[in-house]
Amino acid sequence: MCVNVSVLEQVMAEQKCRTSMDTPDTYSSYAGYGHLAAGLTVGLSAMAAGLAIGIVGDAGVRANAQQPKLFVGMMLILIFSEALGLYGLIIGLVVATKKVDGLCSSYKA
């Protein structure tokens, strides 16, 4: 029964996704490249933040075991590393929601 429900939910989600997309006449090259840039910005900044957090976390835990005074400094570095991902998310949202008409032509078949 659970398998049938999940398959039905997947079909309904795909149908909603197909009907909610813009038609090719209204989706310009500018919007397409903007959405690509937004996705790359968010993905790459999140990857960089995760890498920084992993490296700092590994070194910080080892150093904290030897000298507990380093905990506050480690936490500050982790907070600033996480801010990198948040800045990328904010820039991605700004780029994705930017609406400018007349810069590029629409995809017309």
**Which domains are delineated in the chain?**
2-96 (1.20.20.10)
Q: Is the pLDDT confidence value at 1 over 60? A: no
Q: Is the pLDDT confidence value at 53 over 80? A: yes
Confidence at residue 24, expressed as pLDDT on a 0 to 100 scale: 62
Q: Is the pLDDT confidence value at 105 over 90? A: no
Across 94-98, average pLDDT: 87
Apex 36 CA angle, 35 and 38, nearest 5: 60
Of all residues in the chain, the percent with pLDDT exceeding 90 is 50
Q: Could you give the dihedral angle defined by the CA atoms of residues 42, 47, 48 and 54, in that order, rounded to the nearest 10 degrees? A: 140
pLDDT digits (tens, 9 = 90+) for 55-89: 999 999 999 999 989 999 999 999 999 999 999 99
14, 19, 20, 77 from 44: Cα distances, Å: 27, 30, 27, 19
Other CB atoms within 10 Å distance of the CB of residue 37 = 15
